Amino acid sequence: MHHQMDKLKLLDMMQAEYDFVERTLAMMDDAQMVEPGAFGEWSVKDTLAHLAFWQRQCSAWIEAGQRGETPERPAPGYTWDDIDKLNDATYEADKGRALDDVLNDFRASYQRLRTLTASLPEAMLTELQYFKWMPEDIPLWLTVASNAHLHYLEHIEVVREWLKAKQAG
């Protein structure tokens, strides 16, 4: 089963990995951030837009739950089996956005999710099916982690390798 997590540890992990992303971004100039190929075909900008989308989704799910609503997860018109289609659709929608817009969105969506997570009662994060629409075996903290710091690791480690290869070559 999932290891135990409390709100303070979750917030600490979110902040530590967010800071890692920011340190990674500080190593690049704007031209490198928009260059394709940092994560598959995506640029760093595209990757940040992807992360921001999922942070916004996660916040929206929690806020819907707090209002007593059942959110359409992962997004309206999509099922979890359509995740690649959803990611492709968000890439297409976001690829023309300006770098500054995407950077601001990534940072704002992180702050929104972090502030929201900090405001939640511990039980909401740790009890299984606190919201009836949550999967039986996944506590809310793991949903937050999967759309924040665990998601960063999935993408930013690859970006770091790309950057290292560019600097070496």
- Domain ranges (residues) in the chain: 7-28+37-168
Q: Which residues contact 31 (CB under 8 A, 6 or more apart)?
A: none
The pLDDT of 20-36, averaged and rounded, is: 97
Matching residue, tokens 């970006």: 159
The pLDDT tens digits of the residues spanning 114-154 come to 999 999 999 999 999 999 999 999 999 999 999 999 999 99
State the CATH class of domain 7-28+37-168: mainly alpha
Rounded Cα distance between 96 and 3, Å, is 40
pTM: 0.96
Supply the pLDDT for residue 139.
95
Percent of the chain with pLDDT over 70: 98
* Class of residue 95 by CB neighbours under 10 A (exposed 0-12, middle 13-18, buried 19+): middle
Helix (H) or strand (E) holding 96: none
pLDDT classification of 96: cutoffs 50, 70, 90: very high
Asked if the model's pLDDT at residue 92 lies above 80, the reply is: yes
Q: Is the pLDDT of residue 30 over 50?
A: yes
2 pLDDT above the threshold of 60: no
Residue 3 pLDDT level (bands cut at 50, 70, 90)? low
CB of 11 within 8 A of CB of 118?
yes
74: cis peptide before it, omega within 30°?
yes
Neighbour tally for 35: CB within 10 Å: 15
Mean pLDDT, rounded, of the chain: 96
Q: 161 CB contacts (<8 Å, ≥6 apart)?
A: none
